[in-house]
Amino acid sequence: MEYLSPLDASFLDAEDGDPHASLAIASIAVLDGPVPSQAEFAALIRGRLPLVPRYRQKVRRVPFNLGRPVWVDDPDFDLDFHLRRTALAEPGGDAALEQVVARVMSQRLDRERPLWEDWLIEGLPEGRWALLSKVHHCLIDGVSGNQLYRLICDSGSRTRHPAEDHWQPRRGADAIDLTLDALGQLARTPFDQARVMAGAMRSPAAVARWLLATTRGLGTLAAGFLPTAPTSLAGPIGRARRYAVARTALADIAAVSDACSVTINDVYLAAVAGAFRRLMLQRGEEPAADAVRTLVPVNVRARDQEGLLDNRLSSMLLLLPVEIDDPVRRLRAVHERIGELRASGEVEAAAAMVALADREPFGPVSMIIRTALRVPQTAITTVTTNVPGPNRPLSVLGRPIREILPYVPIAERLRIGVAVFTYGGQAAFGITTDFASVPEADEFAGFVVDEVKTLRDTCRPARTEAAQPRPARRRAAAPAAASS
């Protein structure tokens, strides 16, 4: 049986615990025309299905939640159900596209079917069209979403031949089989844990160092769950969403990174912090030092895991320095705070907790997660994800992809989420907000662009000899998700 990991399953639990949440992530590829017919669209995706087995599988829960959910083949798989088509009202444009994305992403995926949809969107200016790929977060994170692009799209203008397909749905386990297997796993758990402990005891010094580092990291992680100052940017949300896009040249962000000796990710987060500060001031609220804490997903894949379609995430809990007025000082504060969090071992501690959950009986782990989700959280205001996109031009059916826009879901009192995706020399910020409580999605996107421009203009002078050397960690920590 193919089991979901506890982390994968937690996204299902989180969605179950929040009736207003739809925990699907998405990306929107904008392409040149001509718009393909529905038959061409269906033939393309059908020819890629053998490369993405999860696209023909659905989630099956184990009775009484005794074990982790499993992936099972869908015997009634119908490709047409997953391929949707719509068109923008004339004259089209960014605002119309953003409204369609928000409407599509507000709706939950059908749990009785494979958890994905592809939407072909017609009516963009200059004869262009868009392909919206919507996938539940339990299946992939933002980084593995890149792998989907490699599998579905083509490099260059030539279209690959369809993959050979000999798929026949395997008979799914019935409730008795699932229950017996889960009980067997429960019976084996103490012995598996004993083997792990025995192996650890062969290197007691290494275990002691690991325990010390993990304990220190958990202390930092626990501090990150202290309540933030109350603001209108966090609180109950509805089902409907707004979506807006901010676009900046990646070269501008890289120039700031070089001039100020910080990472690309630092510049992203500083721009977002500046946008939050502006929004709070516009609302007449004090941007206090403890007002905006963001969840920053971190990719923890090993090199040999880069192609896996699943979630391999840890996280940082970062207080954005919205209290600082000067953009450069704000950027420096982001850089220093991330450095402190990394030095504390917070990311490793969070990853260790995820790994530990994988060795514990699933029922109690799931119960803990579900219980925690029933308590309104007051520690996190937003989620900010950064995904470096494909580093080469892609095409679909011979049509070049001009840009890729990210979407991250929001839930659990998070009224704003920000995803960043880089492709073709552009950094696209996808802004998701709760429809009713944060109608300023477009303004927030504009604030992000203004913050990047301000940093670019302020940091334009070349570095002096006294400037600090560039940190080694050039590559930004990458999530999913796209958001989430």
* C-alpha–C-alpha distance, residues 415 and 241, integer Å: 9
Q: Which pair of tokens denotes residue 45?
A: 């995706």
Query: Which residues, at least 6 apart from 464, have a Cβ–Cβ distance to it below 8 Å?
Result: none
Nearest 5°: phi and psi at 202? -75, -15
Nearest 5°: phi and psi at 276? -65, -40
Residues annotated as catalytic (active site), given as ranges: 137
Laid out side by side, the sheet with 24-31 consists of: 83-87, 116-122, 129-136, 24-31, 399-407, 394-396, 154-155
Residues in the chain: 484
